[in-house]
Amino acid sequence: MTTAGSPLVGSSGRGRVGRRRARNRERLVSAAAELMAEAGVEGVTVSAITERADLGAGTFYNYFQSRDGIVDAVVAGAVETLGQRLDALTQGMADAAEIYSSSLRHLMRTAVTDPLWGRLVVRLGIAHDQLIATLGPRARRDLLIGVDSGRFQVPDVDIATAITFGALLSAIHAHLGSDQASDPSGVFAESLLRMVGIPAEEATEITQRPLPPLPSLEEARVILGGDAEG
């Protein structure tokens, strides 16, 4: 699970104790992320987290006040940082269809290349407040760019946002339950481009273009300026 954990640890100068604390916190977050992907939020207990992280049972509360606190940290590490990298990638793009397509393809591809990440977001589910608070506004923003530029025809932006979010999680779930041989990123984005009014042939062409790689979190923060520092 490369997307969780490490982004939460800053690289500012720290003593030995500070580095150990950062390492312990990262181990707890990684352990919680694994457990959440396996059993969902409900199945994760503080004792299971410390056991998986191979830390003393009481250590947990040196870093987090509650189970909810570490769940928030996992989601932040796994989804919010990806959101910032997508923000940086699409910031320089002019065409709403390319923005929407690139984001959807990268989100789906992340689930393909990092199934633990995919299982995590599926287990969190469409009703998880922090997940929808992280991805929902970005989907809505990208849809509005298309509507405002006249590129998209969307009967209701809120419904289209909800569809985008639910479609992503459900398509990830279907992919993880399949033989997983193929990468569904392109046809997934193609279906949603058609939904927002891009003609079928053009939707195919856009979603088959070379996909620019995601910037790292550090590159993203440079591109986005200081705004993205959490």
Where does this chain bind a second copy (CB under 8 A)? Answer: 40, 42-43, 122-123, 125-127, 153-156, 158-163, 165-171, 173-174, 178, 184, 187-188, 190-192, 194-197, 200, 204
Q: 183: buried, middle or exposed (CB in 10 Å: 19+, 13-18, 0-12)?
A: middle
In the bound state with a second copy, the residue whose beta carbon lies nearer, of 2 and 153, is 153
Q: Which residues contact 100 (CB under 8 A, 6 or more apart)?
A: 142, 143, 146, 152, 189, 192, 193, 196
In the bound state with a second copy, the residue whose beta carbon lies nearer, of 84 and 161, is 161
Q: Which residues contact 33 (CB under 8 A, 6 or more apart)?
A: 1, 4, 5, 74, 77, 78, 116, 120
Cα gap 61→84, rounded to integer Å: 29
Q: Rounded to the nearest whole angstrom, what is the least distance from the CB of residue 127 to a second copy in the complex?
A: 5
- CB–CB of 59/24 below 8 Å? yes
- How many distinct helices (H) and strands (E) make up the chain? 11, 0
Q: Rounded to the nearest whole angstrom, what is the least distance from the CB of residue 168 to a second copy in the complex?
A: 7
Q: Rounded to the nearest whole angstrom, what is the least distance from the CB of residue 210 to a second copy in the complex?
A: 19
Q: Rounded to the nearest whole angstrom, what is the least distance from the CB of residue 68 to a second copy in the complex?
A: 15
In the bound state with a second copy, the residue whose beta carbon lies nearer, of 8 and 163, is 163
In the bound state with a second copy, the residue whose beta carbon lies nearer, of 43 and 56, is 43
Sign for the pseudo-dihedral over CA of 114, 115, 116, 121: positive
Q: What single letter denotes the amino acid at residue 90?
A: T
Q: Which residues contact 144 (CB under 8 A, 6 or more apart)?
A: 157
In the bound state with a second copy, the residue whose beta carbon lies nearer, of 184 and 215, is 184
In the bound state with a second copy, the residue whose beta carbon lies nearer, of 167 and 223, is 167
Q: Rounded to the nearest whole angstrom, what is the least distance from the CB of residue 161 to a second copy in the complex?
A: 7
Q: Rounded to the nearest whole angstrom, what is the least distance from the CB of residue 170 to a second copy in the complex?
A: 2
